[in-house]
Structure formats: C-alpha cells, structure tokens
A and B are shown apart, each in its own frame.
Chain A
Amino acid sequence: MFEAIAFYLFAVLTIVMFTITVMTQQALYAITAMAAGMIFISAFFFILGADFLGAIQIIVYTGAVMALYAFGMMFFDTTRNVVEKRTNTQIVFVLGVLAAVMVVAIFVAPIASNNIEALYPVDAAIGNTQAIGIVLFTKYLVPFELAAVMLLVAMIGGIVLAGKKMDKSLTLMAEEDIGSMDDSLESKAGGH
C-alpha cells in the first residue's frame, strides 16, 4: 500500500519536473527542475531495494553533474529567455511516442518470451551494497576499470577544454588572432 502511494507520488513529481525541464524557456528553471527530478528518481531506486544506486544517483547527478551544469551556466547568459525556432510539433510528438513504445518493446521482449534467468541472483543474507561490491569486483572488474580510465580521460579533457586560456576572451578576438595564439602556444610548447 505504502509502496503504491510512494510510487504514484514520485512518478507524478518526476514527470512534472522533467516536463518543466523540457518545456520551459528559462535556463535556470530548467536546471532547477532537473535537479529536483534527479532526486525524485533516486526515490524509485530506494523503493526497488537498490540502496547503493539511489545514493550514487543523488551524489553523482545532483552533486557532480548539476554542479558542473551550474558552473557551465556561469559562462552563458542565463537571465534572458531562450529563443528557439519552432519545429513541427506534431512530428516531434509522434516520433517521441513511437520511440518510447520501441524502448518498452526492447525491455519487455526477453521477459515476454520467458527467456531470462538471473545470472547473479540477489542473496537475501547480505545487504545491497555488499552484494554490488561482490559482483562489481568479480564479474564486472574489467568494465569497472575501463570506466575509471574513461572518467580520467573525461576529466583531463574537461580541464583542457574549459580551463585553457581562461584569462582571454575568445569571443572578442578576431579569427586570425586566435589562430596566431595557437601557433605561438605550439611553438612555445613543442619548439616547431
């Protein structure tokens, strides 16, 4: 009973928040509504017994990703309305619903054919976090390490892209100056 109440409450809240994110003209409304929606999504993970995933959802999405977006929005003018050219809304809605139905079919197909069995069954004796640790560091060790390398590459890429030449405004410079700046930087670094 309580599970049903929680599910419907958070489902309505999440859908409303994400609809605001998609439909609003204000960038600040969009980012705030999305942060709220991310926290509401973590509630589903707690209902489903995936405690660790719920905690990670809050830490990574509302902690790291949202902070990164807020940091990025300092560079953009967020106070004015976002003016966008309207596309054909009917095509957009039809395609969106069609693609969503396709996703459901992809998820339901193995269940409908009863062709699925648990590879790593949940052990009731140990907690969710411990079980995830056991599976993650045995069966999924290689993907885990690859994800770590990928995050390192992304971090270095982000630093290089956003942090380089922060004292200069590339917007106010002419195209030739930017090219010559790159050349002088290269000659300084590589000596060619």
Chain B
Amino acid sequence: MEITLTHYLVLSSVLFAIGLIGVMRRKNLLMLFFATEILLNATNIAFAAISHYIGDLSGQMFAFFIIAIAASEVAIGLGLLIVWYKRTGKIDLDQMNSMRG
C-alpha cells in the first residue's frame, strides 16, 4: 500500500473544498477567517507533497511564505474586525452596507 502524490493531492483538494464551502456559507466574519485559514493550509499540504515527490525544495519555500502571509493576514484582519465590532457591535457580513454597495 504505497502512498503516492495522488493521495496527497486528493486530500488537499478535499480540504480546499471544505474551506471553500465555509467561505461561501459563512456570514459571520470571524468564521469566514477560519475558513480562509483552511484554504491556505490545504494548498500548503499540496506544496509540501509535490516538493517531496519531485525532490525539490521550492515547494517548501512557497509553503513558508504562505504561512508568513497567513500570519500577517490574521493580524491585520483581526485588528480591523475589532475596530468594526467596537463601532457597530456586529460582525455580520450582510449588515456591512454603509457604502450602499
């Protein structure tokens, strides 16, 4: 029973689908952030697996930079979310219509 690259890519796509379903069905902004973290992690698995099976370190490098981007995204996004919650008391995506979009 050999675990091949296909196994990892199937797992990665399943996790990506879960994250995408979360992004589309969530209206609470905090829960939406959780779903985006799942998306980033799914691609990280694919990068690490391809890096291993091709024998190249570039995939792992890209996974590192994705982790760095995820960390800064959380810092900025959560800061904005806290300010928004302080001003309105809600973090519901449907009620963010102050720009009448």
Enumerate chain A interface residues (CB-CB to B < 8 A).
1, 3-4, 7, 11, 14-15, 18-19, 21-22, 27, 30-31, 34, 37-38, 41, 44-45, 48-50, 52-53, 56-57, 60-61, 64-65, 68-69, 71-73, 75-76, 82, 84-87, 89, 92-93, 95-97, 99-101, 103-104, 107-108, 111, 116, 118-122, 131-132, 135-136, 140, 143, 147, 150-151, 153-155, 157-162, 169-171, 178
B100 at the binding interface (Cβ < 8 Å) = no
Task: Kindly state the interface size class of chain B when it binds its partner.
Answer: 35 or more
Enumerate chain B interface residues (CB-CB to A < 8 A).
1-3, 5, 7-22, 24-28, 30-31, 33-35, 37-38, 41-46, 48-52, 54-58, 60-61, 63-65, 67-76, 78-83, 85-89, 91-92, 94
Contacts A4-B1, A118-B56, A140-B61 given; does A170 touch B83 at CB 8 Å: yes
Chain A residue contacts of B70, Cβ below 8 A: 60-61, 65
Cβ of B34 and Cβ of A34 under 8 Å apart?
yes
Cβ of B31 and Cβ of A170 under 8 Å apart?
no
Of the candidates A18, A96, A103, A161, the one whose C-beta lies within 8 Å of that of B24 is A96
Contacts A7-B7, A151-B71, A170-B86 given; does A119 touch B56 at CB 8 Å: yes
Chain A residue contacts of B2, Cβ below 8 A: 4
Q: In angstroms, how far is the closest chain B Cβ from the Cβ of A191?
A: 25
Q: In angstroms, how far is the closest chain A Cβ from the Cβ of B95?
A: 10
Of the candidates B24, B57, B72, the one whose C-beta lies within 8 Å of that of A122 is B57
Cβ of A1 and Cβ of B1 under 8 Å apart?
yes
A-B contact count (CB 8 A): 233
Of the candidates A41, A120, A155, the one whose C-beta lies within 8 Å of that of B57 is A120
Contacts A103-B13, A150-B69 given; does A27 touch B78 at CB 8 Å: no
Closest to A170 in B: B86
Enumerate the 3 nearest inter-chain pairs by beta-carbon distance, A residue then B residue, closest first.
A161-B79, A154-B72, A22-B22
Q: What is the CA–CA distance of A111 and B50 in the complex, to the nearest angstrom?
A: 9
Cβ of B82 and Cβ of A162 under 8 Å apart?
yes
Cβ of B79 and Cβ of A69 under 8 Å apart?
no
Closest to B94 in A: A85
Cβ of B11 and Cβ of A11 under 8 Å apart?
yes
